[in-house]
DNA sequence: GCCCAGTTCAGGGGGTACCCTGATGCGTCG
DNA sequence: CGACGCATCAGGGTACCCCCTGAACTGGGC
């Protein structure tokens, strides 16, 4: 395909040694030069500040926070004016994170580790972000599309209904909700009925199902 | 350290290309010969049946089940009389899986991927299982110890009560549980009351609390 | 044999969730 | 102003959950 006169220069950041090595191997085989391999976002920032990089591949979960360290590093790089390609790797399709990554502008990508079954998947993603393009895992896109639709029933709830739902999800009984919101029991029942009508639509064999449904609904957000 | 007259011959099984490559690299650097690298448990069994292996390193989550495929492969190998070392890799400290792995006898190991921050961690683990030893991630051990203590209230439940609890956690109503287990409603109620007494002890203002408690209890497992 | 734990049920009572109809006041929009 | 949505409650009803007492049968251990 290419004679590759100028191989891309890429840095890797991942706290898991096994993945660092794996990424390095796949990129190297794909004609990409791995110039650095570190285990934290802070170290990556140092490397990036020295310049000479075309792109960076980094895990989202890294020390010390083990939450969104990778995205934080991305945002700091962008804040510092760096425009190199940044490919975020994650274990799961987390729409919130994907949106944050996309919000950082072009030249960024969000890819699921498990999605990388072919070397070219990763190599091409790196090449894409390095040239200013965007990469989003198809599964994440699907989740996002589903999300905007699934958000519909929730946005159909009124202000009051949402506050009631919130307390429901926290395990409050109708009576407890009534006390918390200074309402009559019957009023809460009315709201609950309205909420269930708007969210459930069908089937409601057991009571527990309701709680479960609400919990999974809120838990998935 | 070693002149390594006879390098260990190892096979790798992991559906994630990046990890396969990473494991291979680390093992190779550690003086271990990687003779096969496959992506499913079934493929690993084929390789193992051909013989000549000292050990196998495999992910627990693999196609097609994406659940305990790695452990299934281990159990099938043991059932077939194979005694080679088997090192299971997992993302999380799941005591259930760890116990299943340990139950397969010596020469097995359960290691967290993220725990591998040093190459020697993985290399030594492979050498240990290849020589018939056992490896268990320290974090998993900690979980197990905590479990046996936390298991107290759960282990105090009788067989029947546990089966009822399981259905409770799945959202079944008392009536549904009665139908599922071919019991009378009153019998189920008796079991439920017994379960709640043993687990709750105190406080039970609202019904939802119960479900939540059970869910978090089982969800934390 | 007796006792105990486990499993299986019954009767009765209190409480909560859920559903339906209906009513009142309060803003908004055409 | 009238229609509409929203929030606020009431009354009446069904179903289910939970608790208590009590009882019958079983199997194992002393």
Q: Which residue of A has its CA nearest to B25?
A: A21
Q: Render pLDDT for B94-111 as a digit per residue (tens, 0 to 9).
A: 877 887 888 888 899 999
pLDDT of amino acid A154: 66
Task: Say how far apart CA A14 and CA B150 lie, in whole Å.
Answer: 34
Confidence of residue A18 (pLDDT cuts 50, 70, 90): very high
Instruction: Please report whether residue A37 resides in a domain.
Output: yes
Whether the CB-CB separation of B20 and A122 falls below 8 Å is answered with no
Domain contains A147: no
User: Is B183 in the same domain as B86?
Assistant: no
Enumerate the residues of chain A whose CB falls inside 8 A of the CB of residue B22.
16-23, 25
Cα distances (Å, whole numbers) of residue B143 to A7, B56, B95, B111, B150: 46, 25, 7, 13, 10
- A126 and A210 fall within a common domain: no
Shared domain check, A93 and A42: yes
In a domain, B105, yes or no: yes
The residue among A53 and A162 whose pLDDT is bigger is: A53
Tell me: pLDDT of B57 over 90.
Answer: yes
Q: Do A162 and A60 fall into the same domain? A: no
Cα B87 to chain centroid, rounded: 12
Where residue A51 sits, what CATH number does that domain have? 3.40.50.2300
In a domain, B144, yes or no: no
| Same domain for A108 and A76 | yes
Same domain, B46 and B118: yes
- Confidence class for position B137, pLDDT limits 50, 70, 90: confident
Residues A130 and A173 in one domain: no
Find the nucleotide nearest B189 (Cα to C1′): D18
Å separating the CA of residue A189 from the C1' of nucleotide D12:
14
Backbone angles phi, psi at A137, to 5 degrees: -60, 135
CA–CA–CA angle B181, B184, B185 (5° rounding): 100
CA distance B174 to chain A (A): 9
- B89 inside domain: yes
Q: Does the residue A126 lie in any domain? A: yes
- Of B83, B107, B137, the last residue of a domain is B137
Please indicate, yes or no, whether residues B127 and B180 belong to a single structural domain of this protein.
no
- Domain total in chain A: 2
Q: Do A172 and B208 touch (CB under 8 A)?
A: yes
Sign (positive/negative) of CA torsion A73, A75, A80, A81?
positive
Give the structural domain span for A209: 156-219
Region A181-209 average pLDDT: 73
The enclosing domain of B182 has a CATH number of 1.10.10.10
DSSP states of A141-197:
HHHHHHHHHHHHHHHTS-HHHHHHHHHHHTT--HHHHHHHHT--HHHHHHHHHHHHH
Beta strands in chain A (DSSP E): 9-13, 33-38, 55-59, 85-90, 108-112, 135-136
Distances (CA, A) of B35 to B7, B47, B57, B129: 11, 9, 12, 17
* pLDDT score, position A207: 47
The encoded tokens of residue B189 equal 């109620």
Strands B33-38 and A9-13: unpaired
């Amino acid at each position: 395909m290419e004679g590759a006169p100028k191989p891309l220069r890429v840095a890797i950041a991942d706290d898991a040694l096994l993945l660092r090595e794996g990424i390095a191997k796949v990129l190297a085989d794909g004609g990409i030069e791995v110039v650095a391999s570190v285990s934290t976002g802070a170290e990556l920032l140092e490397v990036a500040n020295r310049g000479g990089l075309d792109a960076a591949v980094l895990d989202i979960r890294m020390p010390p926070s083990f939450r969104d360290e990778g995205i934080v590093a991305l945002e700091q790089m962008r804040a510092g004016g760096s425009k190199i390609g940044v490919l975020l790797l994650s274990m799961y399709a987390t729409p919130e994170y994907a949106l944050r990554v996309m919000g950082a502008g072009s030249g960024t990508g969000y890819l699921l580790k498990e999605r990388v079954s072919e070397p070219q998947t990763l190599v091409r993603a790196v090449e894409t972000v390095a040239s200013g393009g965007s990469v989003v895992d198809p599964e994440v896109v699907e989740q996002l599309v589903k999300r905007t639709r699934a958000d519909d029933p929730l946005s159909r709830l009124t202000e009051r209904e949402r506050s009631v739902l919130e307390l429901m999800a926290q395990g409050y009984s109708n009576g407890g909700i009534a006390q918390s919101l200074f309402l009559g029991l019957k009023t809460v029942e009315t709201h609950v009925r309205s909420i269930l009508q708007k969210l459930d639509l069908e089937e409601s064999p057991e009571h527990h199902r309701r709680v479960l449904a609400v919990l999974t609904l809120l838990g998935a957000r």
